[in-house]
Amino acid sequence: MSEQKTLISQAFRTFVSEAPEHARAWGELVQSLSQASALDPKSSSLAYLAVLAALRLESGIPFHVKAAKGAGASREEIISAILIGLPAAGHVVTQALPAAMTAFDMPD
């Protein structure tokens, strides 16, 4: 299995394979929202990681860590983005750290 494929959760891979039209529409929406954002790609990626961690959506962490790293985010910035939700979301955000660090340490 390719590295890129392992970064994408089984649930999302199933979504793409079993509902390709919905997946295509979802992808178009995501691209449109990204283009409408005033944030630069690195800031946007870091903010997205913070939201994933706060919502306990750990399955998306590896893919989005690689995106953030590709946009120039450092290990420390990724950790800080995940932990920024501590005051609002509590300790649950720390659950995202293992997956984030494993993904960050994967070869590019």
- Alpha carbon distance 64, 30 (integer Å): 13
Q: Residue 2 has what pLDDT?
A: 52
Q: What is the pLDDT along the chain (108 residues), one digit of tens a residue?
A: 455 557 899 999 999 999 999 999 999 999 999 999 999 999 999 999 999 999 999 999 999 999 999 999 999 999 999 999 999 999 999 999 999 999 999 998
- Alpha carbon distance 40, 79 (integer Å): 19
Q: What architecture does CATH give domain 3-105?
A: Up-down Bundle (1.20)
Q: Residue 5 has what pLDDT?
A: 59
Q: Residue 1 has what pLDDT?
A: 43
**Residue % of the chain over a pLDDT of 70:** 95
**Helices 10-18 + 20-36 axis angle, to 10:** 110
Domain ranges of the chain: 3-105
